[in-house]
Amino acid sequence: MEIKKIRGVVKDYAWGNKDYIPSLTGKYTGSPQAELWLGTHPAGCAAAEDGKTLAELIREDRSLLGEDWERRGGLLPFMMKILAVDSPLSIQCHPDKAQAEAGWKREADSRSKGLPVSYQDDNGKRELFMALSPAAALCGFRDIEEIKADLAAVIPGAFGRTIRSLSGSIRELFMGLFALPASEKAIILSEYRDSLSSSSEPRMEGLFLSRCGVALRCLEKYPDDISCLFPYLMNLVHLQIGEALDIVPGTLHAYVFGCGVEVMDASDNVLRAGLTGKRIDLEELERIASFNAGKPLRCVPSPDGYGRSVYASSSDNYKLISVPSGRYEIAGDKLGIAMVTEGSARFSSHGESLTLEKGEAAVIPASLHYTLSSRGQLYISEVF
């Protein structure tokens, strides 16, 4: 069978959920399992049943990428992940291609000396997140007047004493908070914690965390981090199952709670602002981040010629396809990574067949004509 099963790589980050990814893989450890990687990244490359890595398969078999092999240099241009989020991820943003190339070049000397760097490669990074459960995220900045009104209500003492003078613009407020003396940050966070703990604002809005609920989760995990204020600076987005966000370079964001499929450009470039124990490079973050207020970009699916739902992001490297129960005759022309999250899916081509059960994944070669019978839910990340 030309379609090959592949095994993903599980990442057990502390912010992960103990149950969702094990419910797919059947491998319960009792520890948080945050991400299931289905790609060719060196830090976690998927592999076929015979042990050959996905990167090796694509490099050695040009039929997998087909006519895209030369254009893509024999490389998979995206990574697919399953995310299971129990507590807020780091607040972060990603560079575009030009910024990544400049940063990679600028840090060449530091990299050669083994010093810490902010760029892991010279690629830009866009990402798409589609909810597999009710999910919440912080994404982009709110209007400065809305920010000031909420901060004045939540931390009136700190706002009058310190923050009002920093609020000429979003950029000024953002950078000014980090520049405050540690003693002032501690006073602000103490007032903030007391105010939220005694607030009548509900922690939940139906199935979702409220702004107050998100802020308290941040404080619980990072009690001394001034970026715990950011739930009041950023848009709080609630995603129902099947709804998706398109994260463009420069957009500050953090996934807060819930499970989803994430597809991203093949880059590991992350500039972090807070809620993390990892390196923060505020100078570079200020250089690439967008400090404009605006609504998050929703990625709305549209039907393709086969009756599937396609999430076409702003990236020119990938698209995500949702395949519900049904029978499909597919004349493919692009490589895809398929993952079953519910039920099973049977692929048939040239008299052969392959069945994927819940939690199993496969690589689909370009230019393959096949019949697909899905009983449940299947997702395919496909080269654009």
Catalytic residues, by residue number, are 272
Residue 299 DSSP SS3: coil
Contact 186, 222 (CB under 8 A): no
Q: How far is CA 12 from CA 34, 47, 84, 360, in A?
A: 5, 18, 10, 19
Dihedral sign, Cα of residue 161, residue 162, residue 163, residue 164 = positive
How far is CA 315 from its chain centroid?
Answer: 14
Residue among 191, 198, 152 at smallest CA distance from 173: 152
How far, in Å, CA of 185 to CA of 177, rounded?
Answer: 8
| Tokens linked to 45 | 């490359």
Residue 36 DSSP SS3: strand
Residue 288: Cβ-neighbour burial (10 angstroms; 0-12, 13-18, 19+): buried
Contact 286, 175 (CB under 8 A): yes
Q: What is the DSSP letter of 47?
A: E
Contact 211, 232 (CB under 8 A): yes
Contact 333, 367 (CB under 8 A): yes
Q: How far is CA 289 from CA 95, 255, 292, in A?
A: 8, 17, 9
Q: What is the DSSP letter of 17?
A: B
CA angle 310, 313, 314 (to 5 degrees): 150
Residue among 211, 215, 305, 318 at smallest CA distance from 261: 318
How far, in Å, CA of 119 to CA of 96, rounded?
Answer: 12
